[in-house]
C-alpha cells in the first residue's frame, strides 16, 4: 500500500517533468481569431502548395524561384514586409494569416482563397518553424491606429504637403507613379532591384487595399525593402492626411478621396494633368 | 577576531584584483594595417540629384569602400580582440553616427553589444537609415531634416552594412563588438588597443571589402606587442 503511494508520487513527479515538453508541442500552434493552426497539418499543405516557390527548406529557393521577378519570401531570414508591428520586429500570426489569404499585389504570390481558414492557419504555424527567430524573439506589438478622421479637402491638401516634405516623391515620383529620382537605384536587402509602388496603376497596395492598410504600410515600413518606417516622424493625425492624399494619386481608382479632390478646382487640374501627361512607368499600364 | 582578519585579507585581495583589472596600464597591442596589390579606384560620387548635399563639396567626394593612405596604409579596418577577453557590459555613452553632406561620419562605427547607438541627420534632406542586419533585427527608418536622433541598440555581435535607399551612394558599416578592446585603423593604417590584462588573445582585423584576418598574441605585464596585418587588395 505504502509502496503504491510512493509510486503515485513518482508518477506525479514524472508528469510535472513532462509538462514543459507538452508546452513545447504547443509551440507549433498559432491562434487567429477562433482558428487554431497546427504546424503538423501545415507541413503537408506546404509541401503540396508552397515549396515550389518557397523551397524545400523555406529559404525562398524553390524550383520556380529563378523564373520569378520578385523573389519568393525566405522564411529562414524571418523578415516580413506586411506587418502591423514596428519596423525590425516579427509580425503577428494575424499578419501572416492575412498575407496568405490576400496574396501580394504585383508579385507571383496569389491570394490563397482556395484554402480554408483552417488550412491557412495551419500553414502559418508551419512556416514559423523555418526561422529560429520565432524562438528567440517575440512578435512586436501591433501599432496603434487611431480612428480615421473625416475626409476633408484640407486633409488632402495637408497630405500633399507632407508628401513633398517627407520626400516620398524621391522614390514614388511627384505624381506617385514610382518614377522618382532614386527609383531606378533601389534594391532590396538581397541586392535585388525593386521598384517603388506606382499609385497610378491600380487600387491595391502591397499589404492590402484599405485606408487602414495604407496607414500601416508607411508607419511600419516594409522590412527588407527600401520603404522605411515613418512612425517616429509623422503624428497620427498627419498620417491620416497623408493617407487621404495618397488615395488621390490612384487616378484610375474611384475613391471618396479622389471624388472630393476632383470637385475642387486645384485637385481637378492636378488629376487631369496627370492623366494626360503620363510617364514611362505609368503610361503603358492598362486598368 | 580570526574570522575578521581572514575577511579583511579577502577584501584586500579582492580589491587588489579589481585594481589590476581596472587601472589603465596592462599591455598594448599596436600595429599597422597595409595592403598589397592594386586596390579598386574609388569613384567620385555624383550628388547632382541632391543639390543641398552636392553644394557642400568643391570637388565631388569619392566612394569609401577602400580608403588608403601613403605607404600602402589601409584605413577603416576594425581591429578587435575576438577571443581571450571576457564580454563586457556596454558603456553608458552613446555611439554617434552622423549623416552630413549625404555621407556617413564616421564611415565605420564600432560600438559594443547593447550600447546605445544614436543616428543624427545634419542634412537639409530626408535620409532613411537602413542597417542590413542578418543576425540582429533588420529595421529601416526615415529621418527627415530637423528630427530628433534615432536611438537603437543591437544585442548580438555583427558587422552590419548600412545604407540609405534614397541616396544610393551612401554606405557605411556598424561593427557591433562584445568588448571594449577595439580600434579602427587611422589614415596611416595605425591602430592601438591599450589596457589589455596579461593573457592570450586572438586579434581580428575586419575590412568591409577585403574580409577578415586573425593573429594570436600573448601579453605579459605592461609590454606593447606589435601586430601587423597585410590585406590583399582586389582591383575591382
Residue A23 lies in a domain: no
pLDDT-flagged residues of chain B (< 70): 1-24
Task: Mark whether A168 and A223 lie in a shared domain.
Answer: yes
Rounded CA separation A83/A93 (Å): 10
Task: Mark whether A157 and A275 lie in a shared domain.
Answer: yes
Residue A60 lies in a domain: yes
Residue A176's CB is within 10 A of a number of other CB atoms, namely 25
**CB-based contact B156:B167 (threshold 8 Å):** no
Confidence of residue A282 (pLDDT cuts 50, 70, 90): very low
When CB atoms are compared, the residue of A88, A137, A230 closest to B142 is: A230
Residue A55's CB is within 10 A of a number of other CB atoms, namely 21
Rounded CA separation A249/A258 (Å): 8
Rounded CA separation B175/B206 (Å): 9
Q: What confidence tens digit (pLDDT) does each residue in A87-124 have? A: 999 999 999 999 999 999 889 999 999 999 999 999 99
- Which of A136, A161, A183 marks a domain boundary? A136
Question: Residue A21: pLDDT above 50?
Answer: no
Task: Mark whether A184 and A115 lie in a shared domain.
Answer: no
- Partner B, chain A 52-81, Cβ-Cβ below 8 Å: 77, 79
Residue A266 lies in a domain: yes
Task: Write out the three cell numbers for A137.
Answer: 524573439
**CB-based contact A192:A68 (threshold 8 Å):** no
Confidence of residue A28 (pLDDT cuts 50, 70, 90): confident
Residue A187's CB is within 10 A of a number of other CB atoms, namely 14
Task: Mark whether A169 and A126 lie in a shared domain.
Answer: no
For residue A222, the chain B residue with the least C-alpha distance is: B140
Task: Mark whether A132 and A171 lie in a shared domain.
Answer: no
Rounded CA separation A222/A80 (Å): 7
User: For residue A116, what is the domain's CATH number?
Assistant: 1.10.760
- Which of A136, A164, A192 marks a domain boundary? A136
Task: Mark whether A207 and A118 lie in a shared domain.
Answer: no
**Predicted local distance difference test score (pLDDT) of residue A214:** 97
Task: Mark whether A174 and A126 lie in a shared domain.
Answer: no
Burial (CB < 10 A; 0-12, 13-18, 19+), residue A278, is middle
**Predicted local distance difference test score (pLDDT) of residue B14:** 46
Task: Test A232 with B49 for CB contact under 8 angstroms.
Answer: no
- Partner A, chain B 11-50, Cβ-Cβ below 8 Å: 49
**Predicted local distance difference test score (pLDDT) of residue B16:** 44
- Total residue count of chain A as it appears in this document: 287
The complex's ipTM works out to: 0.82
Q: Is the peptide bond before B106 cis (omega within 30 degrees of 0)?
A: yes
When CB atoms are compared, the residue of A79, A170, A227 closest to B138 is: A79
When CB atoms are compared, the residue of A167, A170, A223 closest to B140 is: A223
When CB atoms are compared, the residue of A87, A225, A233 closest to B144 is: A233
Domain range for A223: 153-282
**CB-based contact A59:A76 (threshold 8 Å):** yes
Q: What confidence tens digit (pLDDT) does each residue in A219-231 have? A: 999 999 999 999 9
- Closest-CA distance, A226 to chain B, in angstroms, reads 5
> B47, B99, B141, B148: which to substitute to probe chain A, counting the most A Cβ within 10 Å?
B141
The answer to whether residue B156 neighbours chain A at the CB level (below 8 Å) is no
Task: Mark whether A61 and A99 lie in a shared domain.
Answer: yes
Any idea where the domains of chain B sit in the sequence? 26-232
pTM for this one? 0.84
Q: What confidence tens digit (pLDDT) does each residue in B180-235 have? A: 999 999 999 999 999 999 999 999 999 999 999 999 999 998 999 999 999 999 88
Closest CA to B90 of B123, B125, B114: B114
When CB atoms are compared, the residue of A77, A170, A225 closest to B166 is: A170
Task: Mark whether A183 and A265 lie in a shared domain.
Answer: yes
Query: What letter does residue A28 receive in the DSSP assignment?
Result: G
**Predicted local distance difference test score (pLDDT) of residue B24:** 62
As for how many domains chain A has, the answer is 2
Q: What confidence tens digit (pLDDT) does each residue in A167-196 have? A: 999 999 999 999 999 999 999 998 899 999
Residues of A in contact with B166 (CB under 8 A): 167, 170-171, 182, 226
Task: Write out the three cell numbers for A211.
Answer: 485606408
Handedness of CA A81, A86, A87, A88 (dihedral sign): negative
Tell me the average pLDDT of chain A: 89
Residue A207 lies in a domain: yes
Task: Test A189 with B125 for CB contact under 8 angstroms.
Answer: no
B26-232 falls under which CATH superfamily? Cupredoxins -  blue copper proteins (2.60.40.420)
> What whole-number percentage of chain A has pLDDT above 70?
86
Q: What confidence tens digit (pLDDT) does each residue in A47-95 have? A: 999 999 999 999 999 999 999 988 999 999 999 999 999 999 999 999 9
Task: Mark whether A244 and A197 lie in a shared domain.
Answer: yes
Query: What letter does residue A46 receive in the DSSP assignment?
Result: I
Task: Test B165 with A167 for CB contact under 8 angstroms.
Answer: no
For residue A77, the chain B residue with the least C-alpha distance is: B134
Residue A4 lies in a domain: no
Rounded CA separation A271/A233 (Å): 28
Task: Test B138 with A223 for CB contact under 8 angstroms.
Answer: yes
Rounded CA separation A117/A53 (Å): 21
**Predicted local distance difference test score (pLDDT) of residue A96:** 97
- Closest-CA distance, A259 to chain B, in angstroms, reads 31
Question: Position of cell 542634412?
Answer: B123
- Closest-CA distance, B82 to chain A, in angstroms, reads 24
Amino acid at each position: 500500500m505504502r509502496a503504491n503511494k510512493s509510486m503515485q508520487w513518482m508518477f506525479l513527479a514524472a508528469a510535472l517533468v513532462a509538462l514543459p515538453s507538452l508546452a513545447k508541442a504547443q509551440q507549433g500552434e498559432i491562434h487567429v481569431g477562433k482558428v487554431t493552426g497546427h504546424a503538423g497539418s501545415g507541413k503537408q499543405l506546404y509541401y503540396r502548395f508552397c515549396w515550389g516557390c518557397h523551397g524545400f527548406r523555406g529559404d525562398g529557393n524553390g524550383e520556380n524561384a529563378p523564373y520569378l521577378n520578385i523573389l519568393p519570401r525566405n522564411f529562414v531570414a524571418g523578415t516580413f514586409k506586411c506587418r502591423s508591428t514596428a519596423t525590425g520586429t516579427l509580425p503577428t500570426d494575424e499578419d501572416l494569416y492575412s498575407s496568405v489569404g490576400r496574396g501580394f499585389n504585383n508579385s507571383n504570390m496569389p491570394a490563397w482563397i482556395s484554402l480554408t481558414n483552417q488550412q491557412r492557419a495551419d500553414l502559418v504555424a508551419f512556416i514559423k518553424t523555418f526561422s529560429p527567430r520565432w524562438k528567440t524573439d517575440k512578435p512586436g506589438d501591433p501599432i496603434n491606429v487611431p480612428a480615421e478622421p473625416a475626409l476633408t479637402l484640407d486633409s488632402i491638401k495637408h497630405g500633399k504637403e507632407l508628401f513633398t516634405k517627407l520626400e516620398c516623391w524621391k522614390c514614388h515620383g511627384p505624381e506617385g507613379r514610382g518614377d522618382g529620382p532614386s527609383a531606378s537605384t533601389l534594391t532590396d536587402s538581397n541586392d535585388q532591384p525593386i521598384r517603388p509602388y506606382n499609385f497610378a496603376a491600380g487600387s491595391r497596395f502591397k499589404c492590402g487595399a484599405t485606408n487602414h492598410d495604407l496607414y500601416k504600410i508607411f508607419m511600419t515600413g516594409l522590412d527588407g525593402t527600401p520603404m522605411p518606417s515613418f512612425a517616429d516622424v509623422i503624428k497620427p493625425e498627419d498620417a491620416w492626411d497623408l493617407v487621404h492624399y495618397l488615395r488621390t494619386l490612384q487616378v484610375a481608382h474611384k475613391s471618396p478621396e479622389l471624388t472630393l479632390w476632383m470637385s475642387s478646382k486645384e485637385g481637378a487640374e492636378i488629376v487631369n494633368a496627370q492623366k494626360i501627361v503620363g510617364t514611362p512607368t505609368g503610361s503603358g499600364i492598362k486598368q | 577576531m580570526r574570522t575578521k582578519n581572514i575577511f579583511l585579507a579577502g577584501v584586500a585581495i579582492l580589491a587588489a584584483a579589481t585594481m589590476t583589472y581596472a587601472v589603465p596600464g596592462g599591455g598594448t597591442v599596436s600595429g599597422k594595417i597595409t595592403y598589397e596589390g592594386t586596390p579598386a579606384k574609388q569613384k567620385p560620387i555624383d550628388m547632382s540629384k541632391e543639390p543641398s548635399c552636392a553644394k557642400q563639396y568643391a570637388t565631388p567626394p569619392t566612394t569609401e569602400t577602400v580608403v588608403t593612405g601613403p605607404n600602402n596604409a589601409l584605413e577603416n579596418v576594425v581591429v578587435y580582440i575576438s577571443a581571450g577577453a571576457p564580454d563586457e557590459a556596454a558603456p553608458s555613452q552613446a555611439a554617434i553616427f552622423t549623416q552630413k553632406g549625404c555621407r556617413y561620419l564616421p564611415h565605420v562605427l564600432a560600438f559594443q553589444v547593447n550600447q546605445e547607438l544614436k543616428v543624427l541627420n545634419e542634412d537639409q534632406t530626408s535620409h532613411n537609415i537602413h542597417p542590413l542586419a542578418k543576425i540582429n533585427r533588420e529595421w529601416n527608418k526615415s529621418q527627415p531634416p530637423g528630427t530628433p536622433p534615432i536611438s537603437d541598440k543591437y544585442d548580438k555581435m555583427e558587422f552590419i552594412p548600412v545604407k540609405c535607399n534614397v541616396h544610393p551612394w551612401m554606405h557605411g558599416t556598424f561593427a557591433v563588438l562584445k568588448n571594449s578592446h577595439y580600434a579602427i585603423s587611422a589614415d596611416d593604417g595605425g591602430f592601438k588597443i591599450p589596457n589589455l590584462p596579461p593573457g592570450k588573445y586572438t586579434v581580428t582585423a575586419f575590412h568591409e571589402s577585403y574580409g577578415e584576418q586573425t593573429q594570436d598574441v600573448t601579453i605579459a605585464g605592461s609590454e606593447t606587442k606589435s601586430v601587423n596585418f597585410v590585406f590583399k587588395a582586389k582591383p575591382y
